[in-house]
Every structure is written in structure tokens, then in C-alpha cells.
Structure 1
Amino acid sequence: MNTTHRLLLAACCLACLPASANPPPRFPAGSVWHQNIASAPLHPNSTSMINTLVGLGGWGNGNKFQIDFSLQTYPEAAPGTPMRTIVPHLGSGEYYSPDCEPLPASMPVPADAAFEGQGGLSCDNDNEDCHLLVKQGNLLYELYSGNYSGGVLNARCLAIWKLNAVYPPEGRGEHCTSADAAGFPIAPLLVNADEIAANVGVANSDLGHAIRFVLPNARMARDTSLGGVGGRLYVRPASHAGNPTGPTGTVPYGVRMRLKSNFNMAGYSAAAQVILRTMQRYGIVLSDGGNIALTFETDRYTTAKWNTLGITAQTFFNGANGSTPVLVSHFEVIDTGARIGETWDCVPSNVTVTDLIFAHGFENAP
């Protein structure tokens, strides 16, 4: 099955969703996030990078390929939803400029929206990531380190993604962060219960997009020879690096890893197998520093529910029904280009059109 067929299958699966279902936001098919990498070339140092990461302890949280269900995307803010003004993070006065939307800026905030891990519009953004993700039409608003009070949002970053654009290789801009440290969008890389439900029962199906993952900063590569600030570095499709402090030989910010084609899926449910096939065909991309490897959407806004689908935080490491726990050693590293030293001097790409050509390098992948 080639890339076009898989994209058509994914579209058909989403078309079968009930009207109340809310699959995650999507970029155009030509976006790097939708490129099938099942046959893309491996990085020449794939084996050594994987072995180094294994030696550092593998995944975070005791080397568990665990799922965090705290992020949530408001699926569609209605026209006329109040726009709330963004101000710099209260207390620190910090706002990531010019990486994020220039101030004054605003975003729609539905009354029933909620911050990451919260039940509403209050979040301790001194101590938590406090993401707020809201889609409205062709725009995706992603807020980082936010809190809502007194009619305004105080935050460290607002990134607005144009969902009808295929971004250039540097995304929103070279050396530019977003609501995620790698400069990635968040919502389109999450796993969502409705998109899983649409694919369960469809033979050999997948989600059709790369999946977000995180690692502790001490397990991500640092290299002072590249001229980056403090040895910070990244690879495509990233445009930015946070604060990696690991050895040079491990995986870098932005790395795209592919689950090996011979991974044994026996014992996994149909829903889990959809996710595993997605990791084989579209990979996982290293988006931020953290301790829980996988980030799936809460089912707050979805018709399908995780408990009905049988997906829990422990699905990929508990060995239930004789399944093989997913380890770092089950992955390989895709070659997405040279390492880039992180200067932290953001050069915005100023994407304003909908037909940009993305030179992703995987045009001939099946």
C-alpha cells in the first residue's frame, strides 16, 4: 500500500466517524507529519544512538513507555467565541519573542475549554506546563505556560499554526520555539480516542501521522562542537532545542524514530495495534523534555473513550496478554539531516500562504 492509498484510507476512516466525534487537527497531506517513513533511510549512527539511549536508562519514568492523558484540544471554537488578550507571564514578565506571536495577540477561549491536566481555565503556570490548545477554522492556537485571570491570558508563548499550510523545513522559523520546545505543533501529533475508534476494525490501518514523544533532558544529545548555546542542538523536523544535557552520542531534539517492522504485536488489542503500526509507518518525534514518553489526548471532548478502547497508561509496558513491552531497542533512527547548533536567535519563517512546498526528502517513500 503506497502513501496515497494510506492517506485515502485515513480520510475514509475519519469520514466514518459520528458527527459528534472530534478527531485531532490535521495539516495537508504534503506536510512532513504525514510522510510515510516505513522505508526511509536509517541514520548511519542509528544503532549507536539507540544503544547510547538504552545505556542512559531508555524511556523516562523507570524506562516505561507510559502514556500521559493530560493534554486536551478544544475541537472547534465557534464563531464569535471571545478573543482573550495575551500578556507576558505574570511575575517573571517573560514572553518568548520573536519566536511566538508578536504582542499584542489574542486567541479564542471557549468558556468550557481547559488547560492541560485541569478541569477549567485556571492553571499554576509557575510550576506546570499549562498548555491551552484551541482550534478555530484553519487556525490552531497553542498556548504555553498560560493562566486565565481577569479576562486576560498570561503566558510565555502563543503559537498560531495555519492548518491549510505546508510549512517549510524550518517550520515557523529557524531556531524558533513554539508551545513545544522542538518548535513542533502539539495537537496534530497527539493520539486521539476518536481517530483510534475510526481505525479499529479497519484491516492494517494506521493514524496517518507522526506521534509526539518526550525524553528527560539528560538523555538528549548535547555537542559543544556545533557552536550552539551550551552545546544545544536539534535535527529536522525540529526548529529549536530546549536544554539537552546528555552525551553527544545519544538521540537529539527532533529525532524521528521508527518502530521496527518485525516488532511482535501479539497480545496487543486492535486499538493498540493501530498505534503500533503508526509508529512503524510514521514514527515518533522527540518534541520536548519530560518523563512520560507518550502524550495522548484526554477523552474530555471525544465521543470514543479510552476505557472502552482498552487503552491505559500502562498499555505498552505492562506485558498484559503476553504482549511484548515496547523498549527503546525496538526502534531505529531515521536520517532527517545534519545536526544544527541551537543559537536561540529565532528567524521567523513568516508563513502566509497555503501552497508552500515542503522539501521533506521522503517523496518516494511507499
Structure 2
Amino acid sequence: MLPVLAVAAATTTLAGCPVFPASNPWNEDVSKLPVAAHSAAYVKSIGLAARLHPDFASRTYGIPFAVVPTAQRRVSIRFTDYPDESDRGPYPVPLGARVEGGSDRHVIVVQRGTCRLFELYGAARTARGWSASNGAVFDLRSNRLRPKGWTSADAAGLPIFPGLARADEVVGRRTITHALRVTVPRTQKGYILPARHFASSDTDPDLPPMGLRLRLKAGFETRPFHGQALVILKALKRYGLIVADNGSPWYITGAPDRRWDDDDLHALGQVPGSAFEAVQTGAVTR
């Protein structure tokens, strides 16, 4: 069972679909939750002096996504690495869908009407459709989790899309009402719901588990920040971050968009890891 947290005042939407219910952990206010017992150790392992880093920008930098119509033609998906932990195709992924640059090669599609989210990891086009290391399908109107122990297009078995910073929220609504996805260098062999999968053999309890929720401390001074950076920092105080994958410390993820102000986002690099704390949202499953 998912922990009962404070419900967000408003749930983000896209293409006429909620990005999961207001009661979903991605959308829940964690600003008043107690600090986790291992918070200091978790944050130290991620990096006290390492700085917050926006892993997205105004051009091709970040994880892109596409919105497709209900009638989008479905194509075959050949899963190469985790077929037993992937949701079977076909998927409505256009052959021209944008692929994330770098080694992860994520492809993300939201389908109108059905309100389904389709995500691929390690994606590559084939003559008939796509191949991918693995893939996952989520109902954006449901809190249903993946089967226990299953990965997804993210190591934690979580959806990627709800954890992206999106310019349409920041520029338009000037508010983010959900947690953001974050990577950390090392994780332990364990996860906290809504994560369903770990990607480590290390049993050190001082390492963060997948699904760990972190928040910007309430006392962190945000007055030097403005614009898009300030909107993001306000969200990190209220909704925080969810550990979703192994990677560089304090890298938060967003979708590339020409509306991003790269100079403004660069100011986030002034925020040290020591400004964060882990909050208690549930027990670690090992």
C-alpha cells in the first residue's frame, strides 16, 4: 500500500489527461513529512558539496516526449535485455519520435484519449518499428504500480514522464506541482514505494534506495533566485525529488524546450547537496 501523504492542490495535465491522480506519490506534498532516520548519511553519500544540476536545456539537452492521437498506428517493439520485465507491444510510437541523446536513448509517448504513457529505454528504430532494452506502459489515470521487482525505462521501475521539469508548467502556470526525477552516484540494494526495482548489489544502509524522496530544506534561502530557477526551487521544497536511477549527483531531469532560459537554469548550480534532506515515505524493500 502506498503511504498516505498530503494531496497536491492541483495536478498537472497534458493532452487532456492527468499526469497521474492527485493522490499519486509524484503529486504529493512532502513539505511537512518527518526527516528520514538515515537522511544525513543518504545526503552525504550523494554529495554534500556536489551541486544541483538541471539535466535539460532549451535545445536538445534533456529527455524529449511526444503527444500522439488516439488513432496513432501501433508498431512492434522488440525487447532485447529485459523482455520478461517489459510490457508487451505494440506501442503507438511514431517512427519519427525523438530519441534522447547519449547512452540511455529514452523514448516517451503520451497518447491522447487513452491517457496511456509509453516509455522505452535503449531505443533504436528498426525496419518494422523499434527495438529497446525494455519498455513500460502506464495508465495516467491510475496509481497502479509495476509488478514487484520489475524495472521500467528507469532503473527504479518508475515512470519517467511525471518527474520531468516541463517548460509549459514553468513558463505558463509558473508552478510545478509534482516531484522531479533525480540521479545519484550509488544506491543500495533496496527500494521504497512507488519504486519497484533496485539496481545495485550494495547492502550499505547508508546509501539511498531507489524511490527515496528528498526535499530542499525549508530554511534554504531562495531570495537570490528568480524566474524559472525560483519556480523549480519552490517545487523542490514542497514536492521534492525522487531517486530514479544511478548517475551523476543531484542531476534533475527535464524535457528540452526552446522556452527554457538556460542562463536562469544555470543558477540552480548554486544549490549544494547539503541543502537537501531525505524524508520518510515508507520502509525499504530489499
Coarse TM-score class (shorter-chain normalised) = 0.7 to 0.9
Q: Which residue of 2 aligns with 1:283?
A: 240
Equivalent AA in structure 2 for residue 189 of structure 1: G
Matches of 2:183 and 2:25, distance apart in 1: 19
Q: Which residue of 2 aligns with 1:340?
A: 285
Matches of 1:297 and 1:194, distance apart in 2: 10
**Bigger Rg over Cα:** 1
Measured after TM superposition, the shift of residue 130 of structure 1 is 1.0
Does structure 2 conserve the Cα–Cα contact (< 8 Å) formed by 1:24 and 1:188? no
Q: 1:268 to 1:246 in 2, by over 3 A?
A: farther
Q: Which residue of 2 aligns with 1:329?
A: 274
Q: Which residue of 1 aligns with 2:59?
A: none
Match of 1:298 among 238, 253, 256: 256
Equivalent AA in structure 2 for residue 39 of structure 1: K
Does structure 2 conserve the Cα–Cα contact (< 8 Å) formed by 1:211 and 1:284? yes
Does structure 1 conserve the Cα–Cα contact (< 8 Å) formed by 2:79 and 2:135? no
Q: Deviations over 1:156-179 (max 9, x none)?
A: 211000011122xxx212111111
Q: Which residue of 1 aligns with 2:230?
A: 273
Measured after TM superposition, the shift of residue 36 of structure 1 is 0.6
Q: SS state of the match for residue 231, structure 2? A: helix
Matches of 2:199 and 2:16, distance apart in 1: 29
Measured after TM superposition, the shift of residue 235 of structure 1 is 1.9
Aligned pairs (5 A) from 1:101-140: 101-102=87-88, 105-117=89-101, 128-137=103-112, 138-140=115-117
Measured after TM superposition, the shift of residue 37 of structure 1 is 0.8
Matches of 1:269 and 1:36, distance apart in 2: 22
Q: 1:327 to 1:244 in 2, by over 3 A?
A: farther
Equivalent AA in structure 2 for residue 133 of structure 1: I
Q: Which residue of 1 aligns with 2:159?
A: 185
Matches of 2:41 and 2:248, distance apart in 1: 22
Does structure 2 conserve the Cα–Cα contact (< 8 Å) formed by 1:208 and 1:278? yes
Aligned pairs (5 A) from 1:1-366: 7-8=9-10, 26-50=19-43, 52-53=44-45, 57-58=47-48, 63-69=50-56, 70-74=62-66, 76-89=67-80, 94-97=81-84, 99-102=85-88, 105-117=89-101, 128-137=103-112, 138-167=115-144, 171-200=145-174, 206-217=175-186, 220-221=187-188, 232-243=189-200, 245=202, 247-291=204-248, 293-299=251-257, 305-307=259-261, 310-312=263-265, 314-317=266-269, 325-341=270-286
Q: Which residue of 2 aligns with 1:362?
A: none
Q: SS state of the match for residue 176, structure 1? A: coil
Moved runs in structure 1, 4+ residues, more than 3 A? Answer: 21-25, 244-247, 309-312
Q: Deviations over 1:42-83 (max 9, x none)?
A: 212323332x326xx447xxx232122220110x21233221
Does structure 2 conserve the Cα–Cα contact (< 8 Å) formed by 1:271 and 1:310? no
Equivalent AA in structure 2 for residue 269 of structure 1: H
| Structure 2 residues without counterparts, runs of 5 or longer | 57-61
Matches of 1:298 and 1:236, distance apart in 2: 28
Q: 1:270 to 1:3 in 2, by over 3 A?
A: farther
Matches of 1:295 and 1:24, distance apart in 2: 21
Q: SS state of the match for residue 206, structure 2? A: coil
Under a length normalisation based on structure 1, what TM-score does the superposition of the two structures give? 0.69
Does structure 2 conserve the Cα–Cα contact (< 8 Å) formed by 1:23 and 1:192? no
Measured after TM superposition, the shift of residue 271 of structure 1 is 1.7
